[in-house]
Structure 1
Amino acid sequence: MTWLPIFTRSTEQALSGWPPPVLDPAGPFASSITTLSWILFAMAGAVLALVLAALWVALAGSQRLRSRLGGTRVVWLAGIALPVVVLTALLIYGLSLTRTLRTPPQPSDIRVRVTGEMWWWRVAYLDRAGGVAMMDANEIHIPVGRTVTVELESSDIIHSFWVPRLSGKIDMVPGRRNVLRMQADAPGVYAGQCAEYCGGAHALMGFMVVAHDPDDYARFMAARARPAPQPGGQAARGAQLFQDSGCGACHRIAGTEANGLAGPDLSHVGSRRTLGAGILPNNRGTMIGWIGDPQSLKPGNRMPAYSTLPGQDLTAIAAYLETRR
C-alpha cells in the first residue's frame, strides 16, 4: 500500500498487524470472504485456460480441429449456456457463503459506532440503549469470540471501512448509516485502512482493531471508565497550557473543560499505539512533533501547527497527554 514507506520500524512494531494480509482471515466473517476469493481466483484461472486453449486452436490447430470446435452449436454451448450456468451457480453460492455479513445485529453483539473524518476515525462505544458510553479515536478494542456490530457513518465525504482479517469492507456515506459485523477468533492487533479515495491524505488514514481475551477486555474497559488521576509537575503545567492554547476548542478530554468535537477525542490518547491515524508510533517525541508541525507529517490534515510554542511548552503538553490513559 502506498502509505507503508513513510512508516518507521518502531511504527511497524507498534502496529504489529501492518500491513494487513488480505487473504489471512482471523474470524468467521473474513473467512467466508476469503473462501469466495479463492473460488473466484480459481474460476478466473479456468477461464483464462479456456481462452488460451481456444486461441491456440484458432491460431495453430488443424483445419479439422477448428471445424469440429466451430459452428453454431459450440457458440451456444460454450459462449452462452456455460457462462450462464457457471455464473448463476457462482452467484447463488457466493450469496449463501456471505449471507452472515448482512445478518441483522443481535442483542448480544457489542456495538461500536465509527465515523469517518478527513482523515481519521471517530470511535464511540455504545451501551445497550444505543447511547455513547465512551469515546475514542483510530482504535477499536473488542473481546475475542464476540461478534461486534459496527455502525458506520461519515461526517464529510465517502470513506470505506476495511479490516481485511476480520470482515469485508463497506462504504461510509454522508447522511447514511451502514452496518458491518466482525469478530476476532484470537487476540491480536488487526490493521485497517480507508479503502475509498477521499482526498490528499487518504493513504494516511489507517486504524487498528485490538482484540483482547475476555478477561483482559473487561479489565481494559473498567480502567477506561475510571477517572484519570490529576496530573502533577510538568504534566500539570501541560494541562494548563492545553487549555490556554485553545486545544480544548477542537478536542475533548473527559472530566475536563475541553469539549471540542472538531478533532479526535483525547481522553485516552496516552494509551494509543499510534498517532495521526496510524502514521507514527505514540511516544513523547512524536507527540511533540505532531503538536508543533502536523502538516509536515500528514499534509492536508485539519490540525493547525503550533510552531510558535517554545519547546518546553510543547514538551509539557505532550507530558500531560501521556497521562491520559
Structure 2
Amino acid sequence: MKRPASMAFAFCVLFLQGCAGWQSALDPKGPAAGELAWLIWFFTALCAVVWALVMIALAAPLVMRSRSGDEPLLLDEAAERGKMRVVVSAVGVTTIILIGLTLLSFFANRTLAAIGSEAALTIRVTGHQWWWEVRYEDATPSRILTTANEIHIPAGEPVRLLLTSTDVIHSFWIPSLAGKLDLIPGHMNVLDIKADKPGVYRGQCAEFCGAQHANMGTFIIAEPRPKFDAWLNDQLQPAGAPASGEAKVGADLFLKRPCVMCHRIGGTPAGGTVAPDLTHIASRQTLAAGTLTMSRGNLAAWIADPQGIKPGSHMPVVELSGDELNAVIAYLEGLK
C-alpha cells in the first residue's frame, strides 16, 4: 500500500506545480490577477460542492432499499410530496447560486475597471505576426518611445495598456497580472494592470494567430519608479556610436543591407517600421519575442538563420560572410 500512496503523493505534488510560477493565473502578483484568482478558486470550490451533492442525490436511491411488501404501482403521497419539496428546493438553490455567481462576476468587473482609473502611464501594444510592438505614449512628442516585446512599468502603480493589431486577432495575457484581452485589427481594447512589487512577469499570446503563435511571448518588467524613470530616459536616447572598428564596419553593413527597410535604429538613417525597433536591442533579455535569450551566439544564430529558429517569421535571410556577421553582431551588441 505504501507504493501506490507514494505515487499518488508524487503525482499531486507535480500537479500542483502548475498553480505557481511566473506564468500562472493561480499565482497572482497584482490586484487584477488576485481578483481573478479568487473567482477561480471560489467557482471551483462551489462547483465541487454542487457536483458532490448531485452525486449523492443520484446514488441515494440506488443504495436505499424499498420496504418489503410495497406494491410497485402504489404511490405514497407523503413520499411524493417529500420528493417534490426536494426538487423545488434544488431549483431554488440553483437559482440562488446562479444569481450569486453573476453578482460576484459583476463586482469583480467593477474592481478590475477601477484599477486603471488613476493610471499615469499609457502604453500602446500592437500585435504582429509574431512579436509585440510597445509604444509609450506622451504628450511631448520627443518623449514617445517605441520598443518591442518587453514592457517596463513602475511597480505599485496602475498602467493602462491600449491593445490593437495590424494583421490577425492576437490575445494579450500576463497571467500573474491580469486576464486575457484580444487585440483586434482596427479596434482598440483597454487593459489596466498593476504589479504589486518589482519582478519579471512572463506573458503569451493566447489566441492562435499562425504558425509561430507559441513563440509570441512577452515580458512585463516591473521596477521601482526611480529605476523605471532611468530606464525610460536611457531608452529615449539615440543609438550610441560604434565603439570599435569592427562595430563601425557592422554599422555600415547594416545600413547598406535590406535591414534598414524593416528596422529602425534611432540616430541613424535606418527608419523601418514593419519590424522591431533595434535602437537598444542589446538591453533586452530575449530575442524574437521570447524565443531566445539575449546572447552573442543567439544573436548570430537569429540573423544567420531566422527561418530555422522561427519558421514562418517575416524576417528574411540576409547573406553575410562570417566576418560580416561578426561585424554586424559587434555593432548590435553595442546598442544598449
Give unpaired runs (5+ residues) of structure 1: 1-16
The Cα shift of 1:94 comes to 2.1
* Structure 1 counterpart SS, 2:28: coil
Distance change (3 Å), C-alpha of 1:99 and 1:235: same
Q: Identity of paired residues, percent?
A: 43
Matched residue type, 1:175: G
Aligned match of 1:12:
none
Aligned: 1:284 with 2:296: yes
How far apart in 2 are the matches of 1:47 and 1:104?
A: 33
Alpha-carbon deviations, 1:263-308, whole Å to 9, x = none? 11111111110001111111111011001111111111111122x3
Aligned: 1:149 with 2:152: no
Aligned match of 1:212:
223
Contact persistence 2:143–2:236 (CA under 8 A): no
TM-score (norm 2): 0.85
Aligned match of 2:277:
265
Aligned match of 1:243:
255
Alpha-carbon deviations, 1:173-231, whole Å to 9, x = none? 11110000001111110000011111111111100000111111111112122333211
Aligned match of 2:25:
22
Aligned: 1:196 with 2:199: no
TM-score (norm 1): 0.88
Matched residue type, 1:54: A
Q: 111, 118, 126: which is aligned to 1:115?
A: 126
* Structure 2 counterpart SS, 1:98: helix
Alpha-carbon deviations, 1:156-180, whole Å to 9, x = none? 1111001111111111111110000
Distance change (3 Å), C-alpha of 1:21 and 1:132: same
The 5 A counterparts of 1:1-325 are 19-63=22-66, 71-78=83-90, 80-103=91-114, 105-106=116-117, 108-128=119-139, 133-231=144-242, 232-306=244-318, 308-325=319-336
Matched residue type, 2:291: I
- The CA RMSD over aligned residues, in Å, is 2.1
Instruction: Please say which structure displays the higher CA radius of gyration.
Output: 2
Alpha-carbon deviations, 1:1-49, whole Å to 9, x = none? xxxxxxxxxxxxxxxx975122111111111111111111111211221
Contact persistence 1:110–1:148 (CA under 8 A): yes
Of structures 1 and 2, the one with the larger relative CO (CA 8 A, separation 6+) is 1
The Cα shift of 1:102 comes to 2.5
How far apart in 2 are the matches of 1:236 and 1:198?
A: 38
Contact persistence 2:255–2:270 (CA under 8 A): yes
Distance change (3 Å), C-alpha of 1:107 and 1:182: closer
Distance change (3 Å), C-alpha of 1:119 and 1:132: farther
Distance change (3 Å), C-alpha of 1:59 and 1:132: farther
* Structure 2 counterpart SS, 1:140: strand
Which region of structure 1 is more displaced relative to structure 2, 47-56 or 196-205?
47-56
Aligned residues: 305
The Cα shift of 1:54 comes to 1.9
The Cα shift of 1:132 comes to 7.2
Matched residue type, 1:40: F
Contact persistence 2:116–2:193 (CA under 8 A): no
Contact persistence 1:33–1:98 (CA under 8 A): no
* Structure 1 counterpart SS, 2:144: strand
The Cα shift of 1:150 comes to 0.2
Which region of structure 1 is more displaced relative to structure 2, 34-43 or 68-77?
68-77
Contact persistence 1:117–1:155 (CA under 8 A): yes
Give unpaired runs (5+ residues) of structure 2: 1-19, 68-78
How far apart in 2 are the matches of 1:30 and 1:104?
A: 11
Alpha-carbon deviations, 1:235-279, whole Å to 9, x = none? 111111111111010111111111111111111111110001111
Contact persistence 2:130–2:289 (CA under 8 A): yes
Q: Which ranges of 4 or more aligned residues in structure 1 deviate by more than 6 Å? A: 129-132
* Structure 2 counterpart SS, 1:113: strand
